[in-house]
Amino acid sequence: MTSAYADFIDELQQDVTIPIQPPMDDLAPGTRAVIYLRVSSTGQVRTDYNPEGISIPAQREACLRKARELGVTVIDEYVEPGRSGTEMTKREAFQQMLARVRSQGDVDVIIIYQLSRMARNRYDDAIVMADLRKRGVTLVSATEAIDDTPVGQLMHGILATFNEYQSRQSGADIAYKMGQKARNGGTLGRAKIGYLNHIDHSDGRVIRTIIVDPERAPFVQLGFELFATGDYTQEELADELYDRGLRTRATRRHPAKKISENKISQMLRDRYYLGYVEYDGEEIQGRHEPLIDEDLFDTVQEILESRMTAQERRRVHHHYLKGSLFCGRCQRDGIKRRMIIQRTINSKGAEYLYFFCRGRQKGLCQAPHVNVTLVEDAVERHYSAIRFSQPFIADMRDQIDAVLGEQEKSARLLRKQITAQLKELDTKEENLIDLAADSTLPRTKVKEKLRDIARERRRLEERLDTANADLTDSAQLVNAGLALLKQPDQLYRRCNDQQRRLLNQAIFHALYIEDDKITDGELREPFGELHAIQDQRAGATGAEGASKRTTRDAGGPCTPSGVAVLLRGLHSGTCSSKTSKVELRGFEPLTP
């Protein structure tokens, strides 16, 4: 058995710098007492209007009563609020009391509330008691029969053994329960940034769990996304998130403040945000909601690892294509890897910028470095490949107008029909009330029929709300997409770097480049859906042209039903039904 106190006792005896009360010469030896009061957690001192809580005053009263019984005078007290019983060396007030006993010699009796308040380790207890006996100090418990008599010393030994057993048993029980909670996916301790501790009262049970913090979770997600661009150091990311509004959770002692760079570093490496908890070296699927996905986390880890490998601070190289380019060679192997930028200075001091695949840093990709100028030219050329033809744009707009017209006509008819049904329900309700007043029908039956009418009215009113919903927002989004890609290559050439960055992010999820050519592009919606429709029509036109031996631009008309499916898909949320984040007026000069 070991004792932290045993290693600490010599140090206390040699170097005592704790202020001590002067001795009280007017009291006879043998009658001078101090009392020692302790609670084991800070929560126990926050349970009453009294700053000391309930436990400390109750212990003080019992100890003073014991002092009166013994006929001794209490010359001082030592209070330990919220200190663990297992580490005696960490208890300030306890060490102050022992230092006074050794250096001042004006203490004859120490009164404690219970032996467990002093020590829960038999070895610590034995060392302290030997030291007190050597100095002629008696330890007395206010609630237990321990003193310097043989029976009192026997009781002291039994209680010390029992207290240690109880402490170890409680610790093992708590550790087991914590382990079970973690293995079931629960979170131990205080919630991490982006989450909140929550108490769920379900079926009469109290369940402590974790929920997403609606205020800070979006900043955590944004932090990962910004760092994944490669444009930020951890220090810069901490500043950026602070500027955008991220703060720590305020506590009783500390107000909300900026998240430190160290905390940002821990957050970026923590798989907890993927939905996992770690316990005793084991990773377990957690019950909490993940805030980011595996791809984003892996990208962030690659950036962190690359900067650690280089053993130098990352130099920031801004470029409007950063974050939009991915390796075309890796894509052919079914892997998505981002292209990053590198700055090189030759022997004459000339600066060159290159894009290269992140996989090269680990020897996972052999794609060559590509000069930034060649990449810019390749992206500019690619914009001419995503334009919509004039006949397609005109036909789509005609069909959108037709769909909206049909929708309005159908909605008017549906509203008329539902309104008529609601009027019929009003008539039925009035008739039933009249019958109830005349006692023609039993009241119970009348109430039941009225409830049926009320349910039917709610259903029809909900249906009427649905009938009033239209596809106008979706139509505006599609029209904006059509206008944007009418002459996208010309628009792109006229944009400045910032506008090009916004345009790339608005149109593409990803651009894949191999050597100096764009090999593929993942379009955002509605551009992807619109191109699918145009390609479908072009295919139909090709077949028709081959059979008739005629040439046509962009084929037969798009069916109203196909456009309706597209608009309803946007409206229902399969794509964004909101107005495009990159509006036409965000690019200069304005498109028609």
Q: Has residue 307 got a pLDDT over 90?
A: no
What is the arithmetic mean of pLDDT over 563-575? 52
**Do 301 and 322 fall into the same domain?**
no
pLDDT digits (tens, 9 = 90+) for 240-276: 898 888 998 888 778 888 999 899 999 999 999 998 8
The three-class DSSP label of residue 323 is: coil
- Of the pLDDT bands very low, low, confident and very high (cuts 50, 70, 90), residue 558 is very low
Answer whether 276's CB lies under 8 Å from 187's CB: no
**Do 493 and 373 fall into the same domain?**
yes
For residue 20, being part of any structural domain is answered with no
Q: Residue 411 CB: number of other CB atoms within 10 A? A: 16
For residue 557, being part of any structural domain is answered with no
Answer whether 470's CB lies under 8 Å from 407's CB: yes
The three-class DSSP label of residue 142 is: coil
Q: In the chain, how many domains are there? A: 3
Tell whether the torsion through CA atoms of 212, 217, 221 and 227 is positive or negative. negative
The Cα–Cα gap between 403 and 592 comes to 23
Answer whether 94's CB lies under 8 Å from 88's CB: yes
Q: Which of 97-106, 233-242, 305-314, 556-565 has the lowest mean pLDDT?
A: 556-565
458 - beta bridge partners?
none
With residue 331 as reference, give the H or E element that holds it: helix 328-332
Q: Which of 77-91, 368-382, 529-543 has the lowest mean pLDDT?
A: 77-91
- Of the pLDDT bands very low, low, confident and very high (cuts 50, 70, 90), residue 468 is low
**Do 271 and 353 fall into the same domain?**
no
pLDDT of residue 309: 52
The Cα–Cα gap between 436 and 430 comes to 10
The last residue of a domain, from among 283, 310, 337: 310
CA distances to 2, 119, 128, 200 from 162, rounded to whole Å, are 17, 11, 17, 36
pLDDT of residue 10: 46
For residue 435, being part of any structural domain is answered with no
Q: Has residue 579 got a pLDDT over 70?
A: no
356 - beta bridge partners?
340
What is the arithmetic mean of pLDDT over 404-425? 76
Model pTM above 0.85: no
The Cα–Cα gap between 399 and 404 comes to 8
For residue 506, being part of any structural domain is answered with yes
**Do 129 and 254 fall into the same domain?**
no
- Provide, rounded to the nearest whole percent, the portion of the chain with pLDDT above 70: 70
Domain that holds residue 126: 28-144
Q: Has residue 470 got a pLDDT over 90?
A: no
For residue 12, being part of any structural domain is answered with no
pLDDT of residue 572: 52
Bigger pLDDT: 237 vs 397: 237
DSSP β-ladder status, 32-38 and 109-112: parallel
CA 436, distance to chain mean position in Å, is 59
**Do 276 and 218 fall into the same domain?**
yes
Answer whether 188's CB lies under 8 Å from 278's CB: no
Our CA dihedral for 318, 323, 327, 333, rounded to 10 degrees, sits at 150
- Burial (0-12, 13-18, 19+ Cβ within 10 Å), 413: exposed
The last residue of a domain, from among 310, 330, 362: 310
pLDDT digits (tens, 9 = 90+) for 330-373: 999 999 998 888 887 777 777 788 999 988 878 889 999 999 99
Answer whether 300's CB lies under 8 Å from 352's CB: no
**Do 134 and 119 fall into the same domain?**
yes
The Cα–Cα gap between 486 and 500 comes to 16
Structure tokens at 345: 């200075």
**Do 255 and 340 fall into the same domain?**
no
**Do 88 and 204 fall into the same domain?**
no
For residue 495, being part of any structural domain is answered with yes
Residue 133's domain is classified under what CATH number? 3.40.50.1390
Bigger pLDDT: 145 vs 67: 67
**Do 203 and 244 fall into the same domain?**
yes
The three-class DSSP label of residue 317 is: coil
201 - beta bridge partners?
206
**Do 138 and 38 fall into the same domain?**
yes
Bigger pLDDT: 541 vs 560: 541
**Which of 268, 295, 273 is closest to 286 using CA atoms?**
273
pLDDT of residue 584: 38
CA 234, distance to chain mean position in Å, is 18
- Per-residue DSSP letter, 338: B
Answer whether 37's CB lies under 8 Å from 78's CB: yes
**Which of 88, 65, 117 is closest to 8 using CA atoms?**
88
What is the arithmetic mean of pLDDT over 283-295? 88
What angle (nearest 5°) sits at the alpha carbon of residue 257, between those of residues 254 and 260?
110
Q: Which of 146-155, 196-205, 271-280 has the lowest mean pLDDT?
A: 146-155
pLDDT of residue 316: 53
The Cα–Cα gap between 498 and 425 comes to 60
**Do 333 and 238 fall into the same domain?**
no
Bigger pLDDT: 457 vs 88: 457
For residue 211, being part of any structural domain is answered with yes
Residue 207's domain is classified under what CATH number? 3.90.1750.20
Q: Residue 185 CB: number of other CB atoms within 10 A? A: 15
CA distances to 56, 57, 61, 83 from 48, rounded to whole Å, are 11, 11, 16, 18
The three-class DSSP label of residue 555 is: coil
**Do 278 and 336 fall into the same domain?**
no
Q: Which of 5-14, 144-153, 361-370 has the lowest mean pLDDT?
A: 5-14
Q: Residue 348 CB: number of other CB atoms within 10 A? A: 5
The last residue of a domain, from among 281, 310, 339: 310
pLDDT of residue 455: 86
Q: Has residue 291 got a pLDDT over 90?
A: yes
CA distances to 12, 130, 435, 459 from 123, rounded to whole Å, are 18, 11, 89, 75
For residue 239, being part of any structural domain is answered with yes
The Cα–Cα gap between 368 and 539 comes to 36
pLDDT of residue 519: 92
